[in-house]
Amino acid sequence: MTARIIDGKAIAKTIETEVAQAIARLGFAPGLVAVRVGNDPASEVYVRSKAKKARELGLRGDELILPDSTSEADLLAHIDRLNRDDAVDGILVQLPLPPQIDPKKVIDSIDPAKDVDGFHPINVGKLHLGRPTLAPCTPAGIIRLIESTGVTIAGCNAVVIGRSDIVGKPMAALLLQANATVTIAHSRTRDLAAAVGGADIVVAAVGRPLLVTREMVKPGAIVIDVGMNRLEAGDAGRIAHDEEKSRLLAKNGTVLVGDVDFCRVREVAGWITPVPGGVGPMTIAMLMRNTVTAAEWRR
């Protein structure tokens, strides 16, 4: 048996169409501001592509770019201004921030009604209480990927590997809300193979290539690979079959792989997400979805 591929790109396109339709119904363009402090190359790419995607779908997408030397007080003043600007529906601050700025203070300062990343403690609290809220984009997108298989989440055993505030914890909360029996595995878990072996749904969000192996996975399971690990091309032989190498090789000669031994796990799993083209495209699509939801609720 070879696993069916869950096509994140195609499912993200469906969400983008829903977003464009919702904007047409709203009759105005919701505003998203992506804030970047400093010149981290990955953050530059993320912030630019988020604002660009927003504009493509009919939102107002703006970037606020601040120098690396920005003080915490200055950043908080900018956020205060955006909180009070009625034309702004969604604010996201790209992490990581320079060392002089405490990310917790920054997250806490964003108006929860405009917190489209879903990181504010009020939104995190609502998520855990099962109340309507702006849920973090990556796990919310993963729920859509799992739903696309047609498998009913209720009653499934699900294991989430990783317990970060951004992916692992909210993922577990959303799966619980969907009535799965949820296990969270993490760096101190004694027997990862035992935790994964009983799971109908596996979500790997660690940042370690080849962590999830074929031997661990229950035949027929849904395997969602959140990990994004950039390796030198020379390492490709270690992580992929020959036929995979060309697909994985990026223009700059590096390879992007997830946390799952894709080629071998796909021989036993029922469904699997590729890296790239699985979870990644969903994150940005759900950010757009959250911005429209924030606009609908606030105005």
Active site residues: 50, 94, 117
Helical packing angle, 8-26 and 137-147, nearest 10°: 110
Task: Round to whole Å and give the CA distance between 149 and 152.
Answer: 9
Cβ-Cβ contacts under 8 Å for 42 (sequence gap 6 or more): none
The site for ligand NAD (CB under 6 A) is made up of 138, 161-164, 166-168, 185-187, 189, 192, 205-208, 226-229, 279-280, 283
Comparison of 192 and 222: residue with beta carbon closer to ligand NAD: 192
Strand 229-232 with 222-225, pairing? unpaired
Comparison of 71 and 187: residue with beta carbon closer to ligand NAD: 187
Task: Round to whole Å and give the CA distance between 298 and 219.
Answer: 45
Nearest approach, Cβ of 18 to ligand NAD (angstroms)? Answer: 19
Cα–Cα distances in Å, from 178 out to 130, 152, 162? Answer: 10, 9, 19
Nearest approach, Cβ of 257 to ligand NAD (angstroms)? Answer: 10
Three-class SS string for 241-276?
A: CHHHHHHHECCCCEEEECCECHHHHCCCCCEECCCC
Specify which residues 157 forms β-bridges with.
Answer: 181
Comparison of 33 and 224: residue with beta carbon closer to ligand NAD: 224
Comparison of 167 and 199: residue with beta carbon closer to ligand NAD: 167
Q: How many CB atoms lie within 10 A of CB 61?
A: 25
Nearest approach, Cβ of 211 to ligand NAD (angstroms)? Answer: 6
Nearest approach, Cβ of 137 to ligand NAD (angstroms)? Answer: 8
